Amino acid sequence: MKEQLLAWYRAHGRDLAWRKTTDPYAILVSEVMLQQTQVERVIPRWQAWLERWPSVESLAAASPAEVIIEWQGLGYNRRAVSLHRTAQHVAANGWPDDLSELPGVGPYTAAAIGNFAFGHDVLPVDTNVRRVQERTGERFDGSCAQALFDLGATICLARIPRCGDCPLAPNCPSRGRRYEPLRKQSKFEGSFRQRRAIALRAVAAGERATDGEALVSLERDGLVVVRDGTATLPS
């Protein structure tokens, strides 16, 4: 199946800017942004981020407040704090052999950086990769990572896979199957996540945030500092 998959990818793979670099910092930024945000939204934000902070050293020298403000709109703002801490660690100590030692870097992100930046034969297994492997019964190597990302995102879909367009369909034991809808993420509108976002946006704009519960949560994540009842971004 590997040959069919890679041939399909050469013809149909998505043209994404972070696939054209082996800079571990640029790849780190893309992977952190992509964790909870759609590719289309990440593309311009990744480019803008690297224009502002083109190296791990430049990001490390930024203040947490600058990083949090730049992250606004990408959601799950704790990722910005983790990314900044990782940059500071790397700027001071270099890239470790075990990338999972970096702040906020788990097994998937470590595997992705190891593969795309350092050429390690390790497969980063996200939801799309796991789905393709489970349905085909195949275990692909690291050279198939980007192809598996794209196949899972565009063809081997969660509920109704497009088997007629899949290069692996002839030998796939799951061909033609349909799947139960996945449990949807809770709505953002009216959620505590939205309250946190509103409070953080107010603080970032220099306004007074009054949602005490949201501020306590934001402070716990290192996104704000509360003194004498007033919240500010960390300096």
Query: For 23-33, what is each residue's pLDDT tens digit?
Result: 999 999 999 99
Domain boundaries, the chain: 1-10+122-182, 23-116, 192-232
Distance CA 195, CA 209 (A): 10
What is the CATH architecture of 1-10+122-182? Answer: Orthogonal Bundle (1.10)
31-78 residue pLDDT tens: 999 988 899 999 999 999 999 999 999 999 999 999 999 999 898 889
Q: Helix-strand-coil percent breakdown of the chain, rounded to 5?
A: 55, 5, 40
% of the chain surpassing 90 pLDDT = 68
Task: Tell me what the mean pLDDT of segment 154-164 comes to.
Answer: 93
Task: Tell me what the mean pLDDT of segment 83-105 comes to.
Answer: 94
Q: pTM to 2 decimals? A: 0.87
* pLDDT on residue 179: 80
DSSP 122-175: -----HHHHHHHHHH-----GGGHHHHHHHHHHTS-SSS--GGG-TTGGG-TTT
The CATH class of the 23-116 domain is: mainly alpha
Annotated active-site residue in 31, 189, 213, 219: 31
Residue 51 designated active-site: no
